[in-house]
Amino acid sequence: MRQIEIAWESIGARIRITLDEGRNADCVEPLWAALPYRTLQGHALVAGDCMYHVPPAHDLLHAVPDYKVNRKIQPNGTVFLSAVQHLTIKYGELTEPMPTSPIGSVAPEDVESLPKIGQLIWDSVYRDGEPVIAQVRRVDGPAGHGVRRMTAESERVRALVERIAAETERMLVGPTEELIDIHDGKFPSGAGTKNSVLTTLVAVNGETRPLGYVSYTSLVRAARLTEVPLSALLEMAKILLVKPTEFLGYCGLNTLWDITKEVVAALDGITTREDFVALMAQMATYVNSIGAWNLQLFPWNAEGDRWTNRPTVTRSVDV
């Protein structure tokens, strides 16, 4: 029986999770292979009482689960994994009936502590608390942190994979100065019409999430799970990746934009699907880790009474 432990040292909490040995091996195996690691702990902002983090498990991007459930009605303590690299723990009421892949459950003796842990994580994300880092390891295994390097044939791709993985290792556990500056409202390019800040933060989050969750993930899945020719995948990558990342560079994510330019330049020399998947998967994990910090640093409490006591809006009616 395989078990993992998640420890949140800053809030003095830890739990054990027993992995399901019989179902969804395509999800369980990448997670097991990625251990140990550290990563920012997040909390759902829309769906209800669940917390999640980004595990650096690249093969989750193209995993094909054999068993899915409506997570809304699963018992508290159920643990899920998804293709957008979320390890999610349900601890209370969920409102989103998304079909999701269960991969295990929190140990019975730890389930009753989940609401308290969930509240502390919520306070960290939503109420300007200190970021909480999850330390994830195999039970009785060593602690540590690392991001697996995808295998590639091309020396150029291998060098890029190394650079991206090193950036990801840093990003999983702490925001870069670029991200801190963005959320402090410092935009050297002048982004933010009439000196606004919230507008740019919304745009940065709105571009980063689909870049990782949709563009990079879809390219990996297409390369692994379909017979789309490599030549078409390379052209689609050039189309999908440049414009949103150029915008994010303008907003202050210069490292992401610089790496993306190198990735796109390397596409013309790629001759194997393995090298293509290596680049796209490594970038997906990197971008998803940036997205996690965007959600942590975003000033959610800026909403205040503007939303809870919003005025009635008179709407025109066509007669």
Which CATH entry fits the domain spanning 3-138: 2.40.100.20, 3.90.190.20, 2.40.30.40, 3.40.50.150? 2.40.100.20
Looking at the chain, the domain(s) classified CATH 2.40.100.20 span: 3-138
pTM (predicted TM-score) = 0.94
Q: How far is CA 81 from CA 19, 42, 266, 317, in A?
A: 11, 14, 31, 45
CB 298 within 8 A of CB 183: yes
Q: Is 308 helix (H, G, I), strand (E, B) or coil?
A: helix
CA-to-CA dists, residue 177 to 145, 183, 231, 253, angstroms: 21, 10, 37, 10
What is the pLDDT, as a whole number, of residue 129?
83
Give which of 235, 181, 246 is closest to 211, Cα–Cα: 246
**Tokens matching residue 234:** 């390379």
105 DSSP β-pair partners: 18, 78
Q: Are 239 and 307 in contact (CB under 8 A)?
A: no
Over the chain (319 residues), what is each successive 10-residue block's mean pLDDT? 96 97 92 98 96 97 93 96 95 93 97 98 92 97 97 97 98 96 95 94 97 97 98 98 98 98 97 98 98 95 49 46
Residue 303 pLDDT: 54
